[in-house]
């Protein structure tokens, strides 16, 4: 295994660990890690590769939630079906955008994710919620918008999907988290497929990243069980990490965008 391969495994482990530890937000680190640690030079390849890795890891976590009974299947499928359309449109638009401009917008999304993690609160809801026409329409609209952003930036979008499913259906957060992973996986596969058609997925790096993510996710879940009472503090620390990475991405993208030689 070369140093390049080892960095891919370790970067995937960081993303998986963050997801397992704090339950979300970790996948948004995939693109900057692939660019600035693993060394992928094309932002579009980094987005396509990260989308595939995030999708596989999301389905792995989804299987665990499904076994635990934390998935509202009809709501999850309705949300995901509408989101696939949005993800395909968003990923097509993302491929057409200048790579450096896309990274600058991605950095702004990272800041928004960090802010949402600082103010995120668990919510009560109806654990017996059932799909009806009113809920279906709300989930479809929100799902399409979440898929659009997820596809455009090549991210899992869990920070959008969880509150979106809660708002659209009224279900408790634990069910929204479990149900959201189905959409994260489906959106990621849709985005990755769109990028793969254009040759914008590094398959070797994706496999190594996924392997690291699975191991990191398992370790993160184990640590989360031990320090459950401190997960709120960890989420705040992680939010500030996102701010720092976003600032760095804005700095790196500013030079090529404005001819500053950064």
Residue 48: per-residue pLDDT: 92
Handedness of CA 118, 124, 129, 131 (dihedral sign): negative
15: confidence class by pLDDT, cuts 50, 70, 90: confident
Q: How confident is the model at residue 261 (pLDDT cuts 50, 70, 90)?
A: very low
* Residue 49 confidence (pLDDT): 94
Which pLDDT does position 68 carry in this prediction?
82
186 vs 232: CA distance, rounded Å: 28
Give the confidence band of 115 by pLDDT, cuts at 50, 70, 90.
confident
Q: What is the mean pLDDT of residues 76-94?
A: 93
Range name among 131-140, 172-181, 197-206, 220-229 with the lowest pLDDT average: 220-229
Phi-psi category of residue 113: left, alpha or beta, with phi > 0 → left and psi -120 to 50 → alpha: alpha
The least confident of 77-91, 105-119, 191-205 is 105-119
Would you state the pLDDT for residue 24?
A: 61
- For residue 37, pLDDT beyond 90: yes
Mean pLDDT of the chain: 83
DSSP string, 44-84: HHHHHHHHHHHHHHHHHHHHHHHHTT---HHHHHHHHHHHH
Residue 80 above 80 pLDDT? yes
For the chain, percent of residues with pLDDT exceeding 90 = 31
For the stretch 213-253, pLDDT in tens is 888 888 877 776 677 566 566 667 777 877 887 888 788 77
pLDDT at 23: 60
Q: What is the pTM of this model?
A: 0.76
Tell me the average pLDDT across 196-223.
90
Q: Count H helices, E strands: the chain?
A: 10, 0
State the pLDDT at residue 70. 85
Q: What is the mean pLDDT of residues 169-183?
A: 84
Q: How confident is the model at residue 104 (pLDDT cuts 50, 70, 90)?
A: confident
Contacts of 31 (CB under 8 A, 6+ apart): 43, 46, 47, 50, 106, 153, 154, 155
Lowest mean pLDDT among 90-94, 119-123, 182-186: 119-123
**Better pLDDT: 151 or 116:** 151
């Amino acid at each position: 295994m070369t140093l390049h391969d080892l960095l891919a495994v370790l970067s995937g482990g960081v993303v998986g660990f963050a997801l397992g530890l704090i339950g979300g937000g970790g996948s948004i680190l995939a693109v900057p890690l692939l660019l600035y640690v693993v060394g992928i030079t094309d932002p579009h390849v980094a987005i396509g590769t990260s989308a595939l890795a995030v999708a596989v890891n999301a389905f792995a976590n989804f299987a665990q939630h499904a076994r635990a009974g934390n998935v509202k299947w009809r709501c999850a499928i309705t949300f995901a079906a509408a989101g696939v359309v949005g993800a395909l449109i968003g990923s097509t638009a993302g491929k057409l955008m200048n790579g450096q401009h896309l990274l600058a917008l991605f950095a702004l999304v990272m800041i928004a994710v960090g802010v949402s993690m600082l103010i995120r609160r668990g919510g009560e809801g109806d654990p017996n919620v059932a799909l009806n026409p009113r809920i279906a329409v709300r989930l479809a609209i929100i799902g399409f918008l979440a898929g659009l952003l997820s596809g455009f930036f090549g991210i899992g979008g869990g920070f959008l999907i969880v509150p979106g499913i809660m708002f659209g259906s009224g279900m408790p957060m634990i069910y929204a988290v479990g149900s959201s992973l189905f959409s994260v996986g489906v959106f990621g596969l849709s985005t990755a497929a769109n990028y793969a058609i254009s040759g914008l997925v590094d398959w070797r790096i994706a496999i190594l990243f996924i392997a690291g993510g699975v191991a990191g996710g398992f370790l993160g879940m184990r640590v989360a069980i031990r320090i459950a009472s401190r997960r709120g503090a960890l989420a705040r620390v992680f939010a500030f990490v996102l701010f720092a990475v976003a600032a760095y991405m804005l700095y790196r993208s500013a030079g090529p965008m404005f001819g500053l030689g950064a």
